[in-house]
Structure 1
Amino acid sequence: MIALLMALAAAQVGPFPTPNADAPIPELEKRPPAPSAEPRATPVSDQDGYAQCAALVRSDAERALTVANEWLVRGGGIFARQCAGLAYVELGRWDAAAAAFAQAAEQAETTVDPRRADFWVQAGNSWLAAGDALQARRAFDSALATALLAPQLRGEVHLDRARAGVALDDLAGARVDLDKGLELVPQDPFGWYLSSALALKEKDLARAQDDIAEAVRLAPDDANLLVHAGNVAGISGEVEAAKGLYTRAIRLAPGTDAAKAAEAALAANR
């Protein structure tokens, strides 16, 4: 749901960086708010209205936003706010999306609605996309505090909370969140990728190597991972391995941002 695009780890261009380079932690992409759970214990009319509005988001987000706002004026409540949030996401209006999801979460808190955790997660990811890491982390904290998240989603929230921690320059806190997340979702290559990128900032090259290797094992055809793996190999002095990883990324995803980063890295390190 997000076209939330942050810079790739692979986006470093130039000679292979050194392990202590003070580069920002990159991300494969800004991830969208995960779809919330199916409506529970709500009037059929609200369920139908939400289904129709959500379907409209995919075909005409501006119209869906108008429908959601008109619904709110008529007292639409949680479902109307959620649909407005989805429409704002589709339109790339992240601050507004975060506000809509947070309002839905706050309303759900007052009625002890079990969907409140989902709304907080959506709000947190939207705030991350908007560049407000502090608000994002607070929203993730609210989601975790509900104790309503399934273990897998709890793990993903810790990974996203780590992204907020890095943006706030809280590397120690980000490491705690990443390790918790990886315990719960060890099959998520994105988590290992982020952990590798954080390890570089922590000047822990051995962990950076191990974690990106695990990410590539889980997703061997992901060009973004391959470019970061190439960067780590270059930092480690494994120049030929790095070039091979860059070449593989270009072959797998020609014309993409990852491929362009790989091409630039190859050109800079001939």
Structure 2
Amino acid sequence: MARHHSPSMLCNRIALSGLIASIALVASAVAAQPSASPTLEDVAYQDCLSLARRQPEDGFAHAQTWSETGGGLPAAHCAALALIELKHYADAAARLEALLPLAQKQVPHLSVQLLDQAANAWLLADQPQRAKALLDIALQASPDQADLLIDRALASAALQDHSAAAADLSRALTLDPTRAEAYALRASARRHLKDFGGAMEDAETALAIEPRLPEGLLERGILRAQTGDRSGARADLIQLRMIAPDSPAAETAGRVIEQMDVRAE
């Protein structure tokens, strides 16, 4: 996670549960070859993933044992995902990255997704430069994937390159203009670039698409606070903390409220 004291685009987007959920969506396909019906290996892989999500320590141990008895790519991938659940992000990222040559041979059609998983794990490990390098490769192979562009924007924002982040988000929104989170993230990038009018427009668009989006409420709340609309800012930030009390965005909202109160005093 980003460790900046000011609100950051990275902490707005990457809530751990959401990232793990997105990784899990791809995980179910990474080791499976296209087939008419699930194989025994497919079933074993799904069982391993399920255990890794429910009981990650047991899931990791199971994956290690399976790997030692010929589990191959599915077992290694399951072990890496269990490590993400255990918050051993750097170890998980390194394992996922190490799987790329094997994935390229066995499931080349899923290599881009694996690159994205490894990059997201590096983001969680506070290593955005490594994440961006992998996402650059992924986007060379698949330049029209909005998710990859959004993830690279996160890496760029963590590196304080908000111009690059805004450019990637604009491209992502050209590909898919319904992505509320991308509008909220671009609002953050534009706010850092001092384009406050554009930032507010993006925050409002994000909330028009998804009225309870925590990141949209955060950005609008910050922008309202900066323009002196303390009551509007407080309403947005309190609503955010009620909707997603344990999220990074809620933590940032709490700091903004405290800063407003100090200024008022």
Q: Give the TM-score category using the shorter length.
A: 0.7 to 0.9
**Alignment partner, residue 17 of structure 1:** none
How much does 1:104 deviate?
Answer: 2.5
Q: Which residue of 1 aligns with 2:155?
A: 164
2:11 matched residue in structure 1? 27
Residue number in structure 1 paired with 2:103: 108
User: What is the alpha-carbon distance in structure 1 between the residues aligned to residue 68 and residue 238 of structure 2?
Assistant: 55
Percent identity between the two aligned chains? 24
Alignment counterpart, residue 258 of structure 2, candidates 243, 257, 264: 264
Could you tell me whether the CA contact under 8 Å between 1:98 and 1:127 is conserved in 2?
A: yes
Q: CA deviation at 1:197?
A: 1.0
Q: Distance in 2 between matches of 1:255 and 1:84?
A: 27
Change (3 A) 1:165 1:262: closer
Residue 7 of structure 1: how far off its partner (Å): 6.7
What are the residue-to-residue correspondences of 1:51-66 with 2, within 5 Å? 51-66=46-61
Residues of 2 paired with 1:254 and 1:63: CA distance?
Answer: 29
Decide whether the 8 Å contact of 1:54 with 1:83 is kept in 2.
yes
Q: Which residue of structure 1 lines up, in the alignment, with residue 236 of structure 2?
A: 245
| Distance change in 2, residues 1:266/1:108 (3 Å) | same
2:146 is matched with which residue?
155
For the residues of structure 2 that align with 1:167 and 1:255, how far apart are their CA atoms? 21
3-state SS, counterpart of residue 69 of structure 1: helix
Moved more, 64-73 or 36-45: 36-45
Matches of residues 10-25 of structure 1 in structure 2 within 5 Å?
A: 24-25=8-9
Which of 119, 122, 136 is 1:124 aligned to? 119
> Given residue 212 of structure 1, which amino acid in structure 2 is its aligned partner?
A
CA shift for structure 1 position 202: 1.0
Q: Work out the CA distance in 1 between the residues paired with 2:114 and 2:197.
A: 38
Long gaps (5+) in structure 1: 13-22
Deviation at 1:262, TM superposition (A): 5.9
Give 1:60 deviation, angstroms. Answer: 1.6
AA aligned to 1:234 is A
| TM-align CA RMSD | 2.8
Q: C-alpha separation between the residues in 2 aligned to 1:134 and 1:103? A: 17
Match of 1:40 in 2: 33
| Structure-2 change in CA distance of 1:26 and 1:75 (3 Å) | closer
1:74 aligns with 2:69: yes
After superposition, the Cα gap between the structure-2 partners of 1:146 and 1:111, relative to the gap in structure 1 and judged at 3 Å, is farther
Residue among 219, 222, 228 paired with 2:219:
228
Q: Which runs of 4+ in 1 moved over 4 A?
A: 5-8, 250-256
- Give the direction of change, closer, same or farther, for the CA distance of 1:222–1:125 in structure 2 (3 Å limit): same
Greater fraction helix: 2
Report the Cα distance in structure 2 between the residues aligned to 1:226 and 1:175, rounded to whole angstroms: 19
Aligned residue pairs: how many? 250
Higher RCO (CA 8 Å, separation ≥ 6 residues): 1
Partner of 1:184: 175
- Match for 1:96 among 73, 91, 98? 91
Deviation digits for residues 112-170 of structure 1 (CA, Å, limit 9, x no counterpart): 521111111110100000011111112212322333x8x5xx10110110111122233
